[in-house]
Chain A
Amino acid sequence: MALTLEQVRHVATLARLSLTPEEEQRYATQLSAVLDAVAQLQSLDVSQVEPTSHATLASSLLREDVMRPSLPPEKALANAPASVGTCFSVPKILE
């Protein structure tokens, strides 16, 4: 199953990746190979099998609705490339 360059560019845009033309070619080939491998599984008849969304069969563990201390803001912001007051600062959001 060959992935078109158009599809590679679309996925790259959604993932905010900027690819060179060589990379677009390379990923088109590699991703197509991945899809081919998955496509083999399509040949199995799984109509009688429950879909599995998770490897474990466990149910969600729940916690009580109890407040716990948050981080001090200086710690919360410690990894931020830029901050103003106790806010994260990011390049201007358009719209």
Chain B
Amino acid sequence: MPLSDFQPVIGLEVHAQLLTHSKIFCGCSTAFGAEPNHHTCPVCLGLPGVLPVLNQRVVEFAVRTGLALECTVKGTSVWSRKNYFYPDLPKGYQITQYDQPICEWGRLVIDTPAGEKVVRVRRIHMEEDAGKSVHDATASAGQSLVDLNRAGVPLLEIVSEPDLRDSDEAVEYLKSLRDVLMYLGVNDGNLEEGSFRCDANVSVMPKGSTVYGQRCELKNLNSFRFLKQAIEYEVARQVDVLESGGKVLQETRLWDVNKGVTRSMRSKEEAHDYRYFPEPDLPPLHVADALIEETRGALPELPRAKRQRFMSQYGLPAYDAKLLTAERPLADFFEACAPHAPDAKKLSNWFLGELSRLLKEEGTTVSSVRFTPTQLGELLGAVEQGTVSINAAKDVLGEMFRTGAAPANIIASKGLAQVSDVGAVEAVVDEVLAKSASEVEKYRAGKKNLYGFFVGQVMKAMKGKGNPTLVNELLKKKLGD
């Protein structure tokens, strides 16, 4: 059977670092980028005689995320120990949740070329992150260096059902999930720094079958592109194995970025026996109904709902709505500006064009913009009324962006105002035509490409400030077109 006769089946496990100030079980900072082992204490170093004390913000974030993904939030959940040995795991076990996680059975709706698709979320649980090994030139051969700053940073693990059917759906799910977590303010969505990580469970089965094949777990997928490439490689690999009469082995495989292949991590196999048991140092966690209801009431509008509202309320195309709502601050600023702008679609063009360009150029976000929504509205109004040309308005926006000065002041001080007075423009047009008698004659005799010459002369005489619509209108009238 060719590749196209097989159906890929994909589920994703996402680890999202929670945006708390302190770690999950101790007061150490969670800030990224500190010198090695500067954010450690007896608790997160796993020294004897200490006890973990749960950070309440971690619970609040887990409940918030669970509700946003339409999960059942459990009144009681239980902490477990997951036992394995690795140098970045100081206690020899990870405190996590196993058979009784805090949230179960939710869903996330994503867009696919075939329409909406519901992806089921099987569970969400809280756990502590491990430290990491440092690659350092000062380490000699036979040595690895360990930094425990990250040990004990709170994570949410969000596990989907194997509902995804190709690499594009997997990418769309991961992007949508990332957008939701960022909207909720629980995660910064940074794949490169590893604060938003993804493993993929991939199997294949003959099309039409209802029995899933043996699955492999793919790791090291720290970009959307790698996720897509790794799934596509792995699906083809598994089909090859089956086609040549082999069996797919259940194993953990690492995506090799340089070679573009997945390869088996044999050392992981035996360690899969984690001997979970209830964490004796932490009693079961009770979440009060009041907290659940309060959190439900405080949930923000989520990206998908906002996108749909932007389309209906502002009459924006899906493309614009998607880009404007990708990040909450941009969407919020758009909504603050909309009542002041003459036209929502034109406002969107300014947001996605010139404003985005300025933000990118300055390497900053919309929260540091210096102008107010009213001022942007004034600028767009000035363009609409012909007081200022679109090109000049871009300069004005740049100045507003840098200084926060009012558009009217910038237009006045830079002399950017467009001349829209009929009498003034007409006088210039008359003068230009009078000076160019021979060109006018040729034009009238049929040399129509001289038109641009007249426009150029008028604009030159007006230092580029003539209202182009008016200039055209008057020129055509005078030339007898």
Contact = CB atoms under 8 A, between A and B. Distances in A.
Interface stretch (B5-13, B143-151, B191-199, B233-241): B143-151
A60 B57 CA distance: 13
A76 interface: yes
A1 B316 CA distance: 71
A23 to B, nearest CB: 20
B283 A54 contact: yes
Interface centre among A65, A66, A68 (most CB of B within 10 A): A65
A60 B156 CA distance: 18
Chain A interface main SS type? loop
A11 to B, nearest CB: 9
Nearest to A71: B41
- Chain A, interface residues (CB within 8 Å), range: 35 or more
A82 to B, nearest CB: 8
Contact of A58 (B54, B275, B283): B283
B479 interface: no
A92 B143 contact: yes
B290 interface: no
Contact of A91 (B35, B56, B144): B144
B27 A68 contact: yes
Contact of B55 (A63, A73, A88): A63
Given A65-B55, A70-B40, A93-B87, A86 B35 contact: yes
B212 to A, nearest CB: 28
Contacts of B148: 76, 88
Nearest to B268: A95
B134 A87 contact: yes
Given A86-B36, A91-B142, A91-B143, A66 B283 contact: no
A61 interface: yes
A14 B270 contact: yes
Nearest to B59: A62
Given A62-B55, A92-B144, A86 B285 contact: no
Interface of B: 20-22, 26-29, 35-42, 45, 47, 53-59, 78-79, 83, 85-87, 133-134, 136, 138-139, 141-148, 254, 265, 267, 270-271, 273, 275, 278, 280, 282-286
7 contacts: A16-B85, A54-B280, A63-B55, A65-B57, A67-B29, A87-B147, A89-B145
Interface of A: 10, 13-14, 16, 53-54, 56-71, 73, 76-77, 79, 82, 84-95
